[in-house]
Structure 1
């Protein structure tokens, strides 16, 4: 097992390009790290340079890691090697709470077995579709509301509390830190009212996926979400970001929205989130 340095992380990002869409979440983290976005992660692989498993995990040397939820993400081309890294090589710290997000759900049984061997409890958090835009030309742009598009701008840190209060994983101090970090360091789009206050918005997670799409209840039904997704997709493409998102299986409305805008998925693939030591 090897911890990658900055130059090696850049090389790994290029390798992961060849494994879309399944590698998108790890790719997104590396994309941010390689562009000097704030990160509390370190990146490890089974071997170098011909790796089969790559894991993003909290960096034990980073003091800021304590301020954020312990998140682990990986991409694996070989489940047996992944199992060995998790079970025998201490690729992750099993002694505290952590969350593995966006993993290939076909690995769920293996993750449960390894955690059981460690006497660590676990629970499934959510199952999601991985939706992505393979090419910006796939973006459906019919029926563009030019007046709405003229009201699109970016969020700024003063909007952190508003977004945090309405985020289903927020409305707490940790959520505030997360939202402030995302608004301050990653692209965002919002639509404002006559007073210049955001009434609808979309952000980018630190793994470069679209998320936290929300419209205040009194402003719904006006097509704001559609305009924001299109605007954000074009912005991300122009700045070299991947364009993708995760949509929970039960969220049929969002799934239909992204599908109708040209996003696609690998129908044989599902991603999952598991919590451990909760």
Structure 2
């Protein structure tokens, strides 16, 4: 029996993969930050089954990572090389991917998504693509200054008691999303702005290392709390000498303006893809 073209890469070898992603900077930044943040989650004693594979066992061929979140079947596909022929062949012939399920492929650069399109054509899947832009603060960026909180306000890590509120207000809630927020909270990746001990705004560092789920309760909007939370969470990452990464869906002008205002660098356009069996 022939071996599968997708070869498991143990955590101890992730450094090799991060090195090749760093050589393709900033296009492969999301591959790098994903591995960096999953390493952090593992150090918190949380292993939810994230698995990394390389086409034919070679990190230079890219990464195919299974990021299963309860009922959400996500496969992260990244490549540091323009030549994606080995990646494409591995995706087409691997027995590890369940093409009978709905599959999400997040934050793929153009050359990777072109590869996915060719694979998808052969697998006869219905596809929905969403274009997004990547914004980055370099890890050496100076901290934001003058961030004194108003009287009665605190900014701190979220606890599990706020899961229902966070999940119920998320516009993209799905069966299993509460489990997802539970995971991020247990990994100390959720942060909230509190007014007199009431949670009014929050943000998460998602498992791929990017900021996400920035939200302010409706009756507290138009007061600058979103910008304040973004600055505060950015400072936490910058103090750790980590890159601050955020995604902005094409056409979201308010988010675009906020990232530019705060000095984020706009880099490559990427795509998110949802594949559904016909």
The TM-score with structure 1 as length reference comes to 0.86
Flag the structure with higher strand content. Answer: 2
CA distance in 2, matches of 1:49, 1:109: 21
Summarize deviations over 1:87-117 as a string: whole Å, max 9, x none.
2344633222110010013444442332121
Which residue does the alignment assign to 2:70? 67
Instruction: Give 1:11 shift.
Output: 3.0
Which residue does the alignment assign to 2:252? 251
Cα gap change, 1:107 to 1:151, in 2 (>3 Å): same
1:203 aligns with 2:204: yes
Larger CA deviation: 106-115 vs 215-224: 106-115
CA distance in 1, matches of 2:28, 2:217: 33
Cα gap change, 1:142 to 1:106, in 2 (>3 Å): same
Larger CA deviation: 4-13 vs 213-222: 4-13
Which residue does the alignment assign to 1:61? none
| Aligned positions of 1:120-159 closer than 5 A | 120-124=125-129, 126-137=130-141, 141=144, 144-147=147-150, 151-159=154-162
Which residue does the alignment assign to 1:263? 264
Instruction: Give 1:47 shift.
Output: 4.3
CA distance in 2, matches of 1:236, 1:12: 22
CA distance in 1, matches of 2:27, 2:97: 21
Instruction: Give 1:161 shift.
Output: 0.8
Does the aligned pair in 2 maintain the 1:145–1:227 contact within 8 Å? no
RMSD over aligned Cα atoms: 2.4
SS in 1 for 2:233: helix
Which residue does the alignment assign to 1:10? 15
SS in 1 for 2:85: helix
CA distance in 1, matches of 2:99, 2:235: 40
Gaps of 5+ in 2: none
Aligned length: 266
Does the aligned pair in 2 maintain the 1:127–1:273 contact within 8 Å? yes
Cα gap change, 1:181 to 1:50, in 2 (>3 Å): closer
Cα gap change, 1:112 to 1:199, in 2 (>3 Å): same
**Which of 181, 189, 193 pairs up with 2:183?**
181
Does the aligned pair in 2 maintain the 1:22–1:75 contact within 8 Å? no
Gaps of 5+ in 1: 59-64
Which residue does the alignment assign to 2:271? 272
SS in 2 for 1:214: strand
Larger CA deviation: 5-14 vs 246-255: 5-14
Does the aligned pair in 2 maintain the 1:138–1:263 contact within 8 Å? no
Which residue does the alignment assign to 1:230? 231
| Aligned positions of 1:110-121 closer than 5 A | 110-121=115-126
| Aligned positions of 1:8-87 closer than 5 A | 8-35=13-40, 36=42, 37-48=46-57, 51-58=60-67, 65=68, 67-76=70-79, 77=81, 78-87=83-92
